[in-house]
Amino acid sequence: MTGQPSQVTVQIKHGNLEETISGSPEQVWLLLNKFFNNLLPSFETAQRLTLQTDLQAITKEIDGIIAFAEEGPYIMFPRNKLTDNETLALLLLANYVGFQLGRLKSDGLSKDELQTKLGKDAKITSTRLGELVKNEVALRTVDEKYKMTSFGLVQMQKDILPKIRSKTGS
């Protein structure tokens, strides 16, 4: 063994961050700790600030509210107990879940499809969809379809589904 101190080189890559650290084992260890101490709090903060959607939790929450048949998803409550916005939000949620579960080919619905399922005229459907878009529950895609946003999924879980359950007594 020679009298030269051993050198260590470590390359770290996480997302867009890339760092190469070289030095004695002690120096590299200290710099690695410093790197992770700086990275982890910002990573944890970013995680806490990111809207998280849990498909399994959503499917449990819609049990008894939405059901799937070969023809597609159905709302299992009389429409007269729901507002137009609640009905449209449920239709978009059902489409999202159906797409995620591989039961539907698209996660978006056209205005005409939503109008037919809502059973209202074009003006009412357009107005209600505009309200959902304005409240960021839904968005209009480039191919003129509507789909649930991540924020909309969270809103459904926190506010809309519990309200629907209380209205319908389920």
Domain assignment present for 45: yes
Domain assignment present for 32: yes
Same domain, 78 and 159: yes
Same domain, 80 and 130: yes
Q: Which of 115, 139, 141 is nearest to 126 (CA)?
A: 115
Domain assignment present for 76: yes
Cα-based angle 118, 161, 88 (whole degrees, multiple of 5): 20
pLDDT in tens, 72-118: 899 998 888 899 999 999 999 999 999 999 999 998 999 999 999 99
Same domain, 59 and 31: no
pLDDT in tens, 55-78: 888 999 899 999 999 888 999 988
Domain assignment present for 125: yes
- Give the domain extent around 114: 55-168
Same domain, 35 and 111: no
